[in-house]
Structure formats: structure tokens, C-alpha cells
A and B are shown apart, each in its own frame.
Chain A
Amino acid sequence: MADQEDVTPIDEMVDGRGGVRAHWRPLLGTLGGMGEGALAERARRLDRAFEDEGIAGVLPGAKRDAAWRCDPLPLVLSAAEFATLEAGIIQRARLLEALLADLYGPQDMLAEGLLPPELVFANRGFLRACHSAGATPPRPLLHLYAVDLVRGPDGYWRVLADRTSAPAGPGMARENRRLLGRVMPEAFRGTQVRSMRPFFDLWQDALQRLAPPEVGDPAVALLTRGSQAPRWFEDMLLSRELSCALVECGDLTVRGGRLFLKTLQGLQRVDVLLSRVDGAALDPLEMTGSGTAGVPGLLDAARSGVVRILNAPGAALAEAPALAAFLPALSRRLLGEALELPSVETIWLGEPGAAERVARESGWLLRRATDGAMPAAAEAAAAALAARAAPATYAAARVPPPSLVPCVAAEGLEPRPLVLRMFAMFDGTQWQVMPGGLARIGQGATLGGALPPQGLSKDVWVISDEGSDIIGPAPAHLPPMRIRRTPGALPSRVADNLFWLGRYTERLERAARLVRATQARIARGVVLPREAAEVSALARCLAHAGFDGAEEVTGSAAAQALPSVIAAALRDDGALTSLGERIADLTLRVRDRLTADMYATFTLTLRAARAEMDQAGDNLESISRAMIAVLRFATAVAGVAAENMVRGGAWLFLDLGRRVERAQAIASEVGFALDEPPARIEGGLRLMLELCDSVITYRSRYLTVLQPAPALDLVLADGSNPRALAFQLEAISRNLSEVTTADDTTLPDEAASLLAEAEAIVAELVDATDQAVAAANLPPRLEAMANRIAALSDGVTRRYFALLPAAQTLGMEGAEPALRGAA
């Protein structure tokens, strides 16, 4: 039967007669030389490479989707095939741009009946706030556009979906290429693969060119939904690739009709916003009833033309699946051209008779008319029922059996179905199609109506036309590229995260030192009488560090009680476990401020420490190993910070956090250690030196004679001892002076005053007639210092991290009759 042939999917690599297609041959030749099992090995290495890059699921505890995966075998497109797709994609992009401009302008397409009103007025993607009656919208509305394509048995590519709001994937396409090049460089040798680099260069330049006309040196920012959103990694990658600031809604503010980024140095203007946030969530002033998320006044600024949002906030409108049924006619009307790259056959069930036809014929897949998602097979029956009740909210599509492409499987290669995502970017003058893309692979033999999960992807190779793709000097018709100034200022939110990363890292390290000191004294199961006081002091230190149950422990019961207190801190919700979680989360949030190597050092050592903590259980030995892993992590962070970070804003706040935490801990712990009768002060001094990691230094200076003044000088006033209070306060004062303007020196002054107090304590001790008595009187003074350091930390938070009061909306207050706006 002729029909039978039509439904057999074609294979991208081999033709129907068993031969390898010409544009695949060089690649297969190269791979053939790699030997048995080499591909499977490369697949494993690629998986590991993505894991190490932390693209997903790196940090245990930080909830992430499964890791991104890329198959080592690329999808190969010939130059001619790419040229055809390129032309079709550009035409479609022009068409959707023209359609959006009409629908957010005069709406002629509705008046002429070329588009049913349901697809606009009953479409959540149509943002009324982006339309002003009688006005035309700022152009372009589309800047980045993506299509999902399937190739049917007839060999033609058809569009499964248009992506017009903030298409995901261009950054991942680039990352696939980068890691594939690293893991399997030899595969590129025999084949002239077009580079994606020029596309990103043009994109970066386009963002500058699309700035509002009067802006001289435009500042570009990429607006992300944040580190908790699934696209965080890609947003970060793109912001680096395009040299623009990475910002969240909370970092932005509109003042006097202009858009600004809140930084430590004050407000900095933003002229172009590459938005990866849903348009309906951009501005709470315009989207009444949608809460307070977003930037109030952002749409107003965009409307006045002082800031350019790309894509325009209302662009999601063009993603409506039912639109596909009307595009051929719209193309003739808006472009005067026949549509070159068609959609999969689609009908809108609001048309008379369409619902009946879909019920009668087989092979139709139901989709929501205006929502992008295609119902999964399990939901299809429910959708069919709903479509009968409200047909206008559904469309139906015939998705041909998609083409197959070989993927590395456990047993050699396996053909799997393929959806190809390609990207186009408007540079201010024309559309540029990325010579590459993202191939997404289905699990079974067919797609079964649902889009393949994000799990497995492929790099997409476009074969270079002989000689056409030599990267040389830019073509003459391009205007010279402007010199770019990356907005280098540190957003307040990032400074806040770095500060707390520093504090928590130090807090974890202190806790590990306390645990080790405690274990050394209780390991034998009994507490020696001369150590009883030290163990009591340690219990107070542990309680202060958040170890539940430690405060009730007294000297004699300590050997029995403390092991379980420590073990509890390592269990779920325990003090150490939750510290580890918070650090993992903060590491993720500040990731865009760390180089790949720094990030790897942070996460690999943290992962190791958390794994050890996770497995430690009640066993003293394994707890002790876990503490060593924690100390190793803390040392790694300190080392990376010292050796790899530029002494700018990011380092300053990471260091500040660490110093503040350590200063506070020293003041408190020395206070606990000295809280003894004068006769027993020696034990306290010994513990104090141990907790401040200063035993060896003391010995080298004073041999074995332990006296209060020299010991306290070493841990409180000696500015050359990195474990001394003075060292921390000097660093705090220095760091704060760097970020403070001359007119307000309150915070560095307070740090200096604390330093003077530490020096005064030691000076008075030296002059005391009985040093032991004087030392035993110190705890209240040290506690007061600890409180002042805590207040200093609060001062830093208020001054630099701009704790904004809560936002609220007015005008929809709800039930209180007094607040009613209408009768």
C-alpha cells in the first residue's frame, strides 16, 4: 500500500538503500578510526563533563532537575539543507514580527477576518498592557526566535512549534559544541563544521545596536528568573557569552521613568533588557491582580522608548499552536509571499465542522489552542472530552513520524526520534540564523505526540559550503563595532549572597573545629577531671554554634551526652547539615561571579564534605573524617579567594563575611573559655589557644609557660595572627573603607573602635597585679564585643544590601467595604 511507505520514518544518517548520506561520511570515517567502544566511552566522558560543569544536579541537596546530557554523535545538516531551513526560518520570523506588530497595533488581521478573535482576546499571551489604542508598538517585537522542527517520512522539515517569548536553548547549543569539542576533538577533523562563534558575536553587537536611539554607550542586562529557576545555568552562560550584566527583577528599579540596576555604587542605568522572564510577570503595576513580582514601571519605561525589552513582553502571543492553521493566509497578506517553511498540518477546532472531523479521522493530536504545551498521551482522552465542550480552545495537529538519528546506546548505536530546535536573531537590520542548533531526542521509537524530555540532546553540525564560511575580517557593510563597557558594578543582591557565603563557610569551619576539640576530650569515654572545665566550655561553644542539646550538658555527663549532640548535628535538619545546604545554595547563587575552576573547587570539596557528613552516622571515627573534609572545603574556599579572586567588590564581601563571622566567634568562644575561677584559668587559656589554632605559635614564642597576658595577646590583639581578633577587625575596617564613601565612615570607624578595645583589654591585662583574676573578669567585656560585632554586621546589611520594605498592591484590596473603589 502506498500509505504504508508514508509512515516509515526516515533516517538522518542512512538513505533508504542502506548507504550513508554524503554529508555524514567524513564524520563516520573519523569515528570508524576510533575503535571499538570508543563512542560509549566518549558518551560517559561527556556526561561527566556536564556534571562537572554543574549544569544540573551538581550540588546534593540543592534541588535540581536531572543533569543535562548530550549524545556524542552530532546531527549533521548539509550546507544546502541548512540554506533551505535558513530561508524558511527567516521568512517565518519576519511573518511573526509583522503579525505581532499588527496585533499590538491596528489589529487589521482581526478586522479582515484572517485570524479568529479567540486566538487573541481569549489568549493569555495577549498582554493588553502592551497595546495602546491608536498607537503602534516599538519595533522590533521579536529579537530571538526559535522553531521546533520535525522531518517527516517525505523528507521535508515542518514546524512543530514557534517559540517567541524567550526561547530556551541557544546557550545550551553553544555549551554542547564546546564540551563536545573538548571531549571528542578528533571528530571535527574530517568535517568542515560551521562555527557558532560569529552568531554570538553578531548577537552581542545587535543588543548594542537595538538600544534606544539617543543612548551613546548602551548598558545591556540579561534578566533572569533567578538561581532557583531551571534556566539559571543557561542565563548565566548567555550573559557571559553576550557580555551583559546578569540581573533579577529585584535588582532593578524604575526612577524618573528610566530603568536602573541597584549596585553597591548606586543606581546604574540599563538601556537594553534581554528578558528571560515571562512578559506577564514583568510589571506588577500593569498586570493588576498578579501580585508584586516584577519591576513597577518597567513597561512604562519601555513604552516611552527609554529602555528596550527583547523580546517585547507581549511576544508570547505568537506561540499559540492554533495560529499554525492561519499562517499561510497571513503570510500572503502580510508579506505577499507563500509560506516556505510550513507547520505540521494543524486545524483550529473553533472552525465549523473541525471538531467533528477530528473526532472522525484518526491521527490527530489535540493541543491547547493558545498554550504551547502538547498534552501527553495520558491526558489526551480528557482533552478530547474538553474539546467537545469548548472546541475553540483546542487545535489538532498531525505530527508525522519524526526522522530517526543514531544515538549511543548500551549496545552500539540506536536510532531515536528527533526534534530539531533552531534559532534566529534580529540584529536591527536583518535576521541571522544560528548555524547549528539543539537536537532533542525522544526516548522510544516515536515521539508519541509529546515533545521529548529535555534529557538527551545533540549538537547540530552545519557543514560549511566550500569556502563560504572562512572567518576573516568582518564584511565591509557592517558598521564598526563599538567598544563595549561591561556594567562591572556589583548588584547589591550579589554582594549580599557573597557576604553570607563567607559567613556560613566560616561558621561551618568553626563548628568543625569545635567538634574536633570536643572529640579529643571525650574519645576515651570518660572526661579527665582536669579537662572537665574545658568540656563544659566547649559545650557552651557548641550550643552557641547551634548544636541542639549542647546547652544542657554538664561536665560529668559530657562524655556520654556530647557524642549524640554531635551526631544529631549531622543528621537531616541538624546544624551542620543545614549549614551545608545553605552554602550549596549560595554557591549556586553567586556562580556567575566565579570562574569555572573556582566553582569546581568550591563544589567538589563541598560535595565531598557533605557526602562524608551524610554517611558519618554516630561513629566517632567517621565523624572525625567528615570534619577533616569540612576543614578541607573551608581551606579550599579561602585558597581560591586569596589566589584567584580580583580584590574587587565580590572578594571584598566574601572576605568581609568571613572576617565578621570569625571575629564574632573568637569574642564569644574566648569569653566561654575564660569563664572559670582564676585558679583554673590555665585550662581555659589552653582551650582558647586550641580553638584559635594558635597553640604552635604560642609554644614557639613562650615555650610551655602558659600565662594570661601573652596568650590573650596572641588571640586578641596580635594583628599578624590570622586567627586573632585583631586580624579580623583590621581586615573588616580595611574592606569597609574600600566600599565606603568619604561622607559616611560609621562602619569602618566602628571596626577601628573594636580593634582599640581588643588592644586595651590586653594592655590592661599586662598591667594587672593578678593576671589570672583579670582574665577571669573578661567574659562580660568579650560578650559585649561579640554583640557589637553582630551589630556591625547588621549595619553592613542595612547599608549595602538595601533591605527593601515589602511591596504591596493597591486598588484590588478585596472585601473590606471601606476600601471599595466602586459602589
Chain B
Amino acid sequence: MIYRLRHVTTYAYAHSVDLAAHLLLLTPRSLPGQNVVRSTLAITPTPSHITEAADHFGNAATRVFLDKPHERFEVIAEALVEVRFPDPPPPALTPPWEDVVAGARRSEAAEFIFPSPLAPLVPAATGYAAASFPAGRPVLVGLLELMGRIRRDFTYKPGVTGNNTQVVEVIESRTGVCQDFAHVMCAALRGLGLPARYVSGYVRTRPPPGRVARRGADQSHAWVEAWMGEGFGWVGLDPTNDIVVRDEHVVLAWGRDFIDVSPLSGVILGGGEHGLRVGVDLEEAEGPVAA
């Protein structure tokens, strides 16, 4: 599937901003299963300095610096991305989850078994997940069940939670949005010793014919990648929609939690009150696709 992506972020300030520095994680990662044909960032006003470097997780980070007074800051991220993540393995063939736990500390996934600021160890979350992981169950069987339970047990309700909402509140209220569900699932899996990382990206705006509209479209989206052992690697799981990530998602970046992958953060001098508008479109590309 080939998508045209357009993500517009606009900050409007009450007073002039004298000096600004921004960290953008708005360029989709190139991955097996995700081919970034083209990707651009249009920034207004024109920054005085831009650097690009991979971050710790290998995400494409762009840092922009503005040192002329401005009342408005806008980033338009556009990309043409082809996605077809491989189908997950037959769940029953994946290793028992305990084996995955045992192998995690010495693997590339080691970092993602540890708690992080927004996905800390929460006994209630670990307990919630444990029901899906009885002894000896193949890991993907447990993961799919857990994802389904989150979709059923939690109410999707925008506007109740915020960027700093803690897992312990969400597990209590059973209410939130994609970011909260992704944090709950990461915290729950890490509590069991299973590696889980937080993925920031997008889900397609309009559903393919015959399928239901996805929650979290029209905006930034978040889900989880869980590790299934050296043999099977990572699988993308979207607990907000109860689907395995295959061809309806575009991956921007991953990290331990939202803090590591906030699409646009920054430090400004001045500005006073500010307003923020975010618009996201992820549409199937029509017509001929040029690189």
C-alpha cells in the first residue's frame, strides 16, 4: 500500500518569540516493510540552522533553530511511503512467553524491558496483563489476547487524558486515547519482563472499502511493538483498534514512551500564551507515484 502523508503543526504565539529551538521526529523511518519513497519538511519561518542526526533509537531527528522574532511557527511534514509489514507468524508457533523473557536481557530488545517515565512499573497493569500469560503460552497468543482485552475493557474517549497522564490513572479509569493504551500495554508487558516499545506514527484516515474507520485517524497515532524472541523479532500491535500492524499504519519513530518520540518539542524564549493546531492526512496515493 502506498500512502501520501501530510502532517501540519502550527504554533501561534500571543507575543513574539525571540529565540526557538525545536526537535522534530516527523520523518518516517525506513524499515523492512516500510519504504520511504520521499519525505520533506517545510518549516516557516526559515530556520537559521538545521541539523539532522539519528537519535539513540535510530529515529530520524531534525533539530531546527530560529533566532529571528516570530509570532508563528509551522512545520509541514509530507511523505510518500509504501508499507507492507510482514504478516505475523502463526501465533501457536511462537515460543513460550517465559523463553522470550529469559532471552530478552541479552538481546537487542533489552532496553525495552525496563520501566520508563511514562511507562513505569505499575503492579495493577502487570496484574492485568498476567491473565493473558498463563504458564507456557506462546507469546503471540498472549499478546493478541491482551491487545483484544485492552480494546474491549478500555473506553476510547478523547479529551480526558493528557500527555502526562500516568498509567496508574488509566488502569484505574479504563479510559483514554491511543497514547494511554500504548503506555498501559508497554508498562504491563515490561512488568512481566517482556520487551515492549512505544511507536509513534499514523493510521490511514479513511478505511479501505468494507472496513470500519480506525480510531486515531486524522491525528498522530500511537501503538506498541512487542518482541517475540530472536527468531521472530518485533510485531506491531495497535491496542486502540485491536489490529496487528500490516498495511494501514505508517511508522514515524519508536522509543520507550511518548517522551522519547514526541513528534515536535522545543524550547522558546518569549511567546506568552500559545495556540497549537495539528492536522494529519494519510491517504492512499492515487495515480502514478514518482520517487
Contacts and interface: CB of A to CB of B under 8 A. Distances in A.
A-B complex is real: yes
Contact of A296 (B21, B163, B263): B21
B263 A821 contact: yes
A51 B55 CA distance: 49
Given A118-B114, A809-B266, A810-B274, A285 B21 contact: yes
B54 A135 contact: yes
B169 to A, nearest CB: 11
A133 B114 CA distance: 19
A823 B222 contact: yes
A255 B67 contact: yes
Given A131-B56, A304-B51, A821-B163, A807 B222 contact: no
A819 B218 CA distance: 14
A300 B65 CA distance: 10
A813 B55 contact: no
A134 B162 contact: no
A721 B23 CA distance: 59
Contact of B177 (A804, A819, A823): A823
B33 interface: no
A113 B54 contact: no
Interface stretch (A121-129, A415-423, A710-718): A121-129
Contacts of A822: 163, 177-179, 200, 219-222, 258, 263
Interface string A146-157: 000000000000
A810 B272 CA distance: 12
Interface in A258-284: 284
A816 interface: yes
A821 B162 contact: no
Of listed B179, B259, B265, B278, residue having the most chain A CB within 10 A: B265
Contacts of B114: 117-118, 121-122
B206 interface: no
Nearest to A812: B163
A589 B114 CA distance: 43
B212 interface: no
Given A132-B54, A810-B22, A823 B179 contact: yes
Contacts of B270: 805-806
A529 interface: no
Interface string B155-181: 000110111110000000000011100
Contact of B276 (A121, A122, A288, A813): A813
Contact of A288 (B19, B56, B158, B259): B259
B162 A132 contact: no
A813 B262 CA distance: 11
Interface stretch (B88-96, B105-113, B229-237): B105-113
A32 interface: no
A809 B21 CA distance: 10
Given A296-B267, A812-B259, A822-B220, A817 B63 contact: no
B265 A809 contact: yes
Contacts of A804: 18, 269
A110 B18 CA distance: 44
Main secondary structure of the interface of B (DSSP, over half): mixed
A254 interface: yes
Contact of A812 (B15, B222, B240, B265): B265
Chain B: number of interface residues, binned into ranges: 35 or more
A808 interface: yes
Of listed A286, A289, A810, residue having the most chain B CB within 10 A: A810
A288 B116 CA distance: 13
B267 A820 contact: no
Contacts of A819: 163, 276
A288 B21 CA distance: 12
A814 B21 contact: no
Nearest to A304: B51
Given A812-B262, A813-B276, A116 B55 contact: no
Contacts of B19: 253, 296
B162 A815 contact: yes
Nearest to B18: A805
A810 B105 contact: no
Nearest to B112: A121
Contacts of B105: 116-117
B15 A805 contact: yes
Given A811-B265, A812-B262, A820-B163, A256 B51 contact: no
Nearest to B63: A300
Interface residues of A, number: 51
Nearest to A258: B49
A441 to B, nearest CB: 39
A257 interface: yes
Contacts of A111: 106
Nearest to A253: B19
A134 B57 CA distance: 10
A117 B158 contact: no
Interface string B256-291: 001110111111111100111010000000000000
B278 A807 contact: no
Contacts of A132: 53-56
B86 interface: no
A821 B49 contact: no
Given A285-B23, A815-B161, A817-B162, A133 B200 contact: no
A303 interface: yes
Contacts of A817: 158-159, 162
Contacts of A296: 19, 21, 267
A292 B158 contact: no
B67 A256 contact: yes
A178 to B, nearest CB: 41
Contacts of B67: 255-256
Nearest to A809: B267
A279 to B, nearest CB: 14
Nearest to A123: B114
Given A117-B105, A255-B67, A814 B53 contact: no
Contacts of A140: none
A320 to B, nearest CB: 14
Of listed A122, A284, A821, residue having the most chain B CB within 10 A: A821
Interface in A298-338: 300, 303-304
Interface in B22-41: 22-23
Given A133-B54, A808-B271, A822-B222, 14 more contacts: A122-B115, A132-B54, A133-B55, A133-B58, A253-B19, A255-B67, A285-B23, A296-B19, A808-B267, A810-B22, A810-B266, A812-B259, A817-B158, A823-B215
10 contacts: A121-B114, A122-B115, A257-B51, A805-B270, A814-B164, A817-B159, A820-B163, A821-B163, A822-B221, A823-B219
Interface of B: 11, 15, 18-19, 21-23, 48-49, 51, 53-58, 63, 65, 67, 105-106, 110-111, 113-115, 117, 158-159, 161-165, 177-179, 200, 215-222, 240, 258-260, 262-271, 274-276, 278
